[in-house]
Chain A
Amino acid sequence: MNRIFTASAVALIASLSAANAATEIQWWHAMGGELGAKVEEIAKNFNESQSDYVVVPSYKGNYVETMTAAIAAFRAKEQPAVVQVFEVGTGTMIAAQGAIYPVYQLMADNNEPFDPASYLPAVAGYYTDTDGNMLSMPFNSSTPIMYYNKTVFEKAGLDPNAPPKTWAEMEEASKKIVESGAATCGFTTGWISWIQTENLSAWHNVPIGTLENGFGGLDARLELNGPVQVKHWGNMKKWADEGLYKYAGPLGGDNAPPMFYSQECAMMMNSSGSRAAVVENSKDFELGYAMLPYYDDVEGAPQNSIIGGATLWVLQGRPAEEYAGVAKFFTYLSSPEVQADWHQVTGYLPITTAAYELSQEQGYYEANPGADTAIKQINLNPPTPNSKGLRFGNYVQVRTIIDEEFEALLGGSKDAQGALDAVVERGNKLIEEFQAQNQ
């Protein structure tokens, strides 16, 4: 007991003297496991690069838990200076004027050089207001791509170097795979909401909602019950019934990776950010990468895919010297070396053009074929109002509704049109509620 007391007293004194020497900056994040270790490393390297500031990263659980913790802390006036918020929380954060410190303003107030044009357009666009100002600091961005099992393709008599490009080819390949017995299912997917609904819409250049997918203001509403989405959901149900596709569960689709790793399903659409994990777990077969499939009868497809992942938001109400440190830290974080390293280790997108070019120079893409599929896909065409991203309030819950209605479709209680109409109706109710709360 005494020893514990002495130890904690020493720790307390040590932390007090550290606080005197340098300004502490709290950074709450949602990166567990290996990603978390990488975050710690970035903070450590920054802290060693200068002596005025100490960035203290704390893991606060998954994205939802981290955001909830930060909001609760703000209400209790105990907020961290920097918090990592996932892309669907963007609408909530932007609406919280008075709680957030927009990044472009933070950088200007502290005389830090900051050029929004140096970021990849598909990344920066998602977090920029209608006047072109960047509101949060891009950190980990990813986009869905298709992983496929070349070994199974060969067994099924398919060309392992020609993955399906369109959904028609997807269906045909899946049929061959299942009928030949090379695998028991053609494909599976993570994220019904993000990949098979939101990205599907952007990829075919059709709107997710009004007012440029919600970028234009709080009175935007969902409209993702158009013909492209209805056709695709209808097909997914048909393919599920035929055994070509297997549903992997709500949210991120936890069962998708195990089904792909165990070679039960030959193809999987999932985040490019899970590339490292997929490579690690697919040593029993040859792995291939491809862009998302599209319907070739839709004009304008393929357009470009949209991103997911998270950005760093700065919260108001901390002492001014902390914000000076945050600005310095953001400059460090977006430097090409730090970004290229983060991109190459984790599989997240390089968020700046400079980091992408540095990775090219270092020969990373020659050594890791397929690692640039995601970048090529988001850069395929300049983003349109339909493919910039989306911005709605209460969107975390809207995503849950998308999952529920998709489950209702699979269960047979609704058809594709009915399910998507219900998504729009129920989702818009939440979005209206959000508008009422924030006006």
Chain B
Amino acid sequence: MKRALFHNKFLPWLLLAPQLIVTAIFFLWPAAQAIRQSFLREDAFGLRSQFVGLANYRALWGSSEYLNSFKVTLIFTVSVTVLTMVFALLMAVAVDRLVRSEKVYTTLLIWPYAVAPAVAGVLWWFIFNPSIGILPYVLSQIGISFNWIYDKTDAMIFVVIASAWSRISYSFLFFVAGLQSIPGSLREAAAIDGAGPVKRFFTITLPLLSPTTFFLLVVNLVYAMFETFAVIDATTLGGPAQSTNILVYKVYQDGFVGQNLGSSAAQSVVLMVIVIALTVIQFRFIEKRVAY
């Protein structure tokens, strides 16, 4: 790493100031507010406020809904990430083998990324609607009943597909770029040595793609955990019976709909801890195994 030397003591701080101010105003201050609020019990209008220590946190651990939300978030996040990455990689490999029309396919596959999550949610709501949707109708013709309004598993499948859909394009684009940076000569050499297409993919392409895969793993996990609010809000509203109520959505429900600010703040502090932990784990342990 290059080391810059400053003779003036204030100049480095001055140069850092814009970034520091933004961080302080938009990240540190709200986070401090959330931590403060999580120790208070307050009515909706903020007229009566009382320090209750860890009562809001204790209530969370005693709440089966909150523990359920953890389980739901885990299933949801892993499903969205796996579905997104497998699909994106599959399509990227397919496009990589194309000789002509590669650009056309890439452009077409990137389109879903331009659709706002809330709009995507509404589109999928129409497609999956049990009364007027095309998909449940087609499935019922072959004898499969798909009704996410009743069925918890169906609801989970529904939100996972709706959330993964637009992310596939994004991951796809990165995989395509990653694949193009792998020198063709390596694969050709392996082919000469007698490795088949499957063997070449797993022993050459996949390891060389690991920086891209690692990056996408991080962003997709973060996306599924924290940015899928709009999809849930436009489709299942966390139901039926809390089966799609992920942690982020629960913060909104308890804080904004229920006006229970103390509990909501405590939940966002827990989320904050999860983000910090995730970041540390990913960069400390997983990064070491990635061949850059």
A397: chain B residues within 8 A (beta carbon): 253-254, 257-258, 260
Interface check B215, CB cutoff 8 A? no
> In A403-439, which residues have CB < 8 Å from any B CB?
403-405, 407-408, 410-411, 413, 426, 430, 433, 436-439
Establish whether residues A405 and B41, one from each chain, have CB atoms under 8 Å apart when the complex forms.
no
Interface centre among B43, B256, B260, B263 (most CB of A within 10 A): B43
Establish whether residues A411 and B152, one from each chain, have CB atoms under 8 Å apart when the complex forms.
yes
A56: chain B residues within 8 A (beta carbon): none
Interface check B212, CB cutoff 8 A? no
A71: chain B residues within 8 A (beta carbon): 44-45, 259
Interface check B54, CB cutoff 8 A? no
B150: chain A residues within 8 A (beta carbon): 247, 407, 410-411
Query: Which chain B residue shows the least CB distance to A397?
Result: B258
Interface residues on chain B, size class: 20 to 34
B44: chain A residues within 8 A (beta carbon): 71, 92, 96, 437
A99: chain B residues within 8 A (beta carbon): 45, 47
Contact indicator per residue, chain A 236-265, by CB within 8 Å of chain B (1) or not (0): 000000000001111100010011001010
Task: Output the least CB separation between A404 and chain B (Å).
Answer: 5
Task: Output the least CB separation between B229 and chain A (Å).
Answer: 15
A258 CA to B65 CA, complexed, in Å: 32
B259: chain A residues within 8 A (beta carbon): 68, 71, 92, 394, 396
Task: Output the least CB separation between B253 and chain A (Å).
Answer: 7
A411-B131 contact in complex given A95-B43, A400-B253, C-beta closer than 8 Å: no
A411: chain B residues within 8 A (beta carbon): 150-152, 240-241
Interface check B97, CB cutoff 8 A? no
Establish whether residues B41 and A437, one from each chain, have CB atoms under 8 Å apart when the complex forms.
yes
A152 CA to B172 CA, complexed, in Å: 52
Interface check B239, CB cutoff 8 A? yes
A97: chain B residues within 8 A (beta carbon): 47
Query: Which chain B residue shows the least CB distance to A404?
Result: B241
A64 CA to B263 CA, complexed, in Å: 18
A410 CA to B148 CA, complexed, in Å: 12
Establish whether residues B131 and A96, one from each chain, have CB atoms under 8 Å apart when the complex forms.
no
Interface check A330, CB cutoff 8 A? no
Task: Output the least CB separation between A410 and chain B (Å).
Answer: 6
A262 CA to B239 CA, complexed, in Å: 25
Establish whether residues A407 and B241, one from each chain, have CB atoms under 8 Å apart when the complex forms.
yes
Interface check A46, CB cutoff 8 A? no
Establish whether residues A262 and B46, one from each chain, have CB atoms under 8 Å apart when the complex forms.
no
Task: Output the least CB separation between B181 and chain A (Å).
Answer: 44
A249: chain B residues within 8 A (beta carbon): 149
Interface check B48, CB cutoff 8 A? yes
Interface check A75, CB cutoff 8 A? yes
Interface check A319, CB cutoff 8 A? no
Interface check A227, CB cutoff 8 A? no
Contact indicator per residue, chain A 53-86, by CB within 8 Å of chain B (1) or not (0): 0000000000010001001001100000000000
Establish whether residues A438 and B242, one from each chain, have CB atoms under 8 Å apart when the complex forms.
no
Establish whether residues A404 and B239, one from each chain, have CB atoms under 8 Å apart when the complex forms.
yes
A255-B131 contact in complex given A68-B259, A394-B260, A411-B150, C-beta closer than 8 Å: yes
Query: Which chain A residue shows the least CB distance to B44?
Result: A71
> In B29-67, which residues have CB < 8 Å from any A CB?
41-48, 65
Establish whether residues B132 and A258, one from each chain, have CB atoms under 8 Å apart when the complex forms.
yes
Task: Report 17 cross-chain contacts, Cβ distance below 8 Å, ordered by A residue.
Answer: A64-B256, A68-B257, A75-B45, A99-B47, A250-B240, A259-B131, A396-B258, A404-B241, A405-B241, A410-B150, A411-B150, A411-B152, A426-B65, A433-B263, A437-B42, A437-B44, A438-B43
- Chain A: residues with CB nearer than 8 A to chain B? 64, 68, 71, 74-75, 92, 95-99, 247-251, 255, 258-259, 262, 264, 394, 396-397, 400, 403-405, 407-408, 410-411, 413, 426, 430, 433, 436-439
Known: A74-B46, A99-B45, A255-B149. 6 other contacts (CB 8 A): A96-B45, A251-B237, A397-B253, A404-B239, A405-B241, A433-B263
